[in-house]
């Protein structure tokens, strides 16, 4: 459980760490849009180069980045298997009953796997380089227009921040409970999948008890500090855009433009003209 890195903050003081959280959130949305615009391996290569560059600039260790992928490997594997076995287009390589493995299915499955991995790393990069408080302020600021339709912007932002903040705490709590259960003779690594799932049931009950206790303590702490007692709350630190955010916006815009051109095949057209 210690290998789960999503929701944890990795301080390094890099260029990306110093960016405004609004810039990072918008850039992550742009990157997600770019991933879904990819149709060929050249555009996927552009997404990989952009993401790898951001990881290097953020000075986050490769081990921490790979931890974010480890948690979704099962989902990636299931997605690949489903697409390989049941994608019917393309030249048939192997067929048995309802199973059809084609070359187009293999290509499509590899693209889906890359898309999922890129999505996880990109979203995790935001939480790894942004503190929960800054992330809350950025989300609240970006959702400000929704206040005109009476949407509880601040409440939603603080809920998301608390959820991210408590991910490491719950992971640590699960680890402690499992160690205590193992000390009493519980076995979590023996038997098949069903037996292991049943062995985890004694962990869930104390975990839920701990979660409700933490939620009650947090609610009492917020109430004791008169949190949300006024509609117009002030902030100790106001978000300001700097030259770093301008550079990040230009780089992101160039990346999105390149992906769109690769999708339309304009680079190949230009090479043919030249």
Number of domains present in the structure of the chain: 2
Residues 71 and 168 in one domain: no
Distance CA 255, CA 171 (A): 36
Helix, strand or coil for residue 238?
A: coil
pTM of the model: 0.76
pLDDT in tens, 49-85: 999 999 899 888 888 787 778 777 888 888 888 877 7
State residue 131's pLDDT score: 82
The tens digit of pLDDT for each residue in 228-262 reads 656 666 777 778 888 999 999 999 999 999 888 88
Task: Report CA 54 to chain centroid distance, whole Å.
Answer: 15
- Residue 120 confidence class, pLDDT cut points 50, 70, 90: confident
Average pLDDT (13-40) is 89
Q: Which domain covers residue 3, as residue numbers? A: 1-130+241-274
Range with the lowest mean pLDDT among 30-34, 192-196, 223-227?
A: 192-196
Identify the CA nearest to 200 among candidates 216, 182, 217: 182
Same structural domain, 107 and 150:
no
Distances (CA, A) of 252 to 38, 47, 54, 111, 189: 16, 11, 11, 22, 45
The pair of three-digit structure tokens given for residue 44, joined into one six-digit string = 């996927």
203 with 252, same domain: the answer is no
């Amino acid at each position: 459980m210690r290998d789960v890195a999503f929701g944890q903050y990795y301080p390094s003081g890099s260029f990306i760490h110093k960016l405004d959280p609004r810039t990072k959130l918008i850039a992550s949305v742009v990157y997600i849009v770019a991933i879904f615009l990819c149709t060929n391996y050249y555009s996927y290569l552009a997404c990989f180069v952009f993401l790898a560059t951001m990881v290097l600039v953020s000075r986050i260790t490769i081990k921490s980045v790979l931890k974010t992928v480890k948690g979704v490997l099962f989902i990636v594997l299931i997605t690949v298997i489903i697409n390989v076995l049941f994608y019917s287009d393309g030249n048939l390589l192997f067929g048995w009953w309802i199973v059809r493995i084609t070359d187009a299915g293999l290509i499509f499955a590899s693209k889906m796997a890359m898309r999922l991995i890129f999505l996880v790393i990109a979203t995790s990069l935001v939480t790894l380089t942004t503190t929960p408080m800054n992330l809350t302020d950025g989300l609240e600021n970006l959702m400000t227009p929704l206040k005109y339709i009476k949407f509880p912007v601040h409440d939603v932002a603080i809920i998301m921040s608390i959820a991210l903040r408590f991910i490491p705490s719950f992971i640590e709590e699960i680890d402690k409970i499992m160690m205590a259960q193992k000390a009493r003779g519980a076995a979590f690594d023996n038997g098949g999948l069903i037996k292991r799932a049943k062995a985890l049931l004694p962990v869930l009950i104390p975990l839920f008890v701990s979660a409700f206790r933490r939620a009650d303590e947090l609610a009492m702490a917020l109430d004791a500090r008169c949190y949300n007692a006024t509609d117009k709350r002030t902030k100790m630190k106001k978000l300001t855009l700097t030259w770093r955010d301008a550079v990040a916006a230009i780089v992101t815009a160039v990346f999105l433009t390149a992906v769109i051109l690769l999708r339309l095949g304009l680079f190949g057209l230009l090479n043919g003209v030249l």
